[in-house]
Amino acid sequence: MREHVDKMRDIVLQTLRTIITNDYILLDLPYQRNVGDVLIWQAFEDIKPQLGHRCLYQCSEATYDKPSIDKDVILVFMGGGNFGDLWEHHQIFRYQVMNDFPDNPFVQLQQSVWFDDPEKMKQDVIEFQKHRGKVSICLRDKQSYDIIQENYPSVETYLLPDLALTFDVESYCKKHHININQGNGNLLALRKDKEAVDISKYKVPSDVEVSDWPSMMCTLPKQAKVQKWIRRCEKYLHSKALARLLTDYLYRKVLKYEYINSGIDFLNSYKTIYATRLHVAILAALMGKETYIIDNSYHKISGVYNQWMKNSKIVKML
């Protein structure tokens, strides 16, 4: 897998160096329990030094406080699977930032795109047409690429691997003193949200253990402590700015690693992984696990698999 990771990183860097051509701010960081989104974040952190420009400011949707920046500073949004109306608050946040900086270049890191409501997509196109700065959108699957290319005339589109496919799990585990184990038994990582599907038609072993990311199922130890500190600071500091700064710091320095470590420890316990979450499958494959993927509701998983993973000997699409 190491050669595959290096190849994916080279593809990503080659394009990002052509569109992130100045200092930038990094927006919509995933301060949430989904390990997959945090993996994307860490993967971008790993390649940031190779981009050759400074990150002047970074925040989540919740901690955003309009910074003072020049018109040539680039607005960079984190990747994931939230471009569209399924997780609409992310799209609304994009509009807010574009309205705050109507002339700045806009870069969207690798996303999957889906609109349940065609009228909302038409409105989205209008919002992006209003933005006077250059807009570059990176997509991680062909279906999403086609949606943007065919409907957004003012946007430059790029087809790139999901950032998590560039994550160097071996180096990460060595740095954080984690051993990758062969594991025993079978896991079915099952999501139960808007993207869930009926898995009854798929052949999954009868002895499979069913779970989701531990961070989605329960509160992790450091997660509880950090959230307690954040609540205390919000109550006693009497300063929203200081509370936001502390929240940003604790997520970057503590919780990001807590989530990733919990995900690696979780998959370490099993030998074979069945996944309805894309990033469970990606992390399992990076760890050398025999991996079987089940598609999500709007086919983003099969899109990423067919584009970037189908030649893998240890990952199969059910």
List, for residues 233-274, the tens digit of each pLDDT value. 777 766 778 888 888 998 999 999 999 999 999 999 999 999
CA atoms within 13 A of residue 283's CA, in its CB half-sphere: 31
- Asked whether residue 32 falls in the same domain as residue 144, the answer is yes
Question: Are 91 and 134 within one domain?
Answer: yes
Q: Residue 193: give the domain boundaries.
A: 169-317
- pLDDT score for 229: 76
DSSP 104-122: S-EEEEEEEEE-SSHHHHH
The two structure tokens encoding residue 103: 């002339």
Which pair of structure tokens corresponds to residue 297?
């509701």
Indicate if 173 and 160 belong to the same structural domain: no
Q: Are residues 103 and 243 in the same domain?
A: no
The domain that holds 148 is classified in CATH as 3.40.50
Question: Residue 52 region, left (φ>0) first, then alpha (ψ -120 to 50), else beta?
Answer: left
Q: Are residues 24 and 116 in the same domain?
A: yes
Judgement on whether residues 141 and 225 belong to the same structural domain of the protein? no
Q: What is the pLDDT of residue 86?
A: 83
The answer on 160 and 242 residing in a single domain is no
pLDDT for position 238? 66
Model pLDDT, residue 9: 96
Domain shared by 149 and 201, yes or no: no
- Tens digits of pLDDT across the chain (318 residues): 678 899 999 999 999 999 999 999 999 999 988 999 999 999 999 999 999 999 999 999 999 999 999 999 999 999 998 999 988 999 999 999 999 999 999 999 999 999 999 999 999 999 999 999 999 999 999 999 999 999 999 999 999 999 999 999 999 999 999 999 989 999 999 888 777 777 778 888 888 999 999 888 777 777 777 778 777 777 776 677 888 888 899 899 999 999 999 999 999 999 999 999 999 999 999 999 999 999 888 888 999 999 999 988 889 999
- What's the pLDDT at 118? 94
pLDDT of residue 296: 83
How confident is the model at residue 202, as a pLDDT? 85
Q: What domain count does the chain have?
A: 2
Sequence letter at residue 102 = P
Residue 200: what pLDDT? 79
- What is the full DSSP assignment across 222-282? HHHHHHHHHHHHHHHS--HHHHHHHHHHHIIIIIHHHHHHHHHHHHHT-SEEEESSHHHHH
pLDDT of residue 18: 97
Are residues 153 and 237 located together in one domain of the fold?
A: no
The verdict on 150 and 186 lying in the same domain is: no
Same domain, residue pair 77 and 182: no
Mark which of 107, 136, 165 sits at the end of a domain. 165
pLDDT of residue 2: 73
Residues 140 and 283 in one domain: no
Choosing from 111, 143, 165, the residue where a domain stops is 165
Cα–Cα nearest to 47, from 78, 71, 81, 82: 78
Name the domain boundary from 165, 182, 215.
Answer: 165
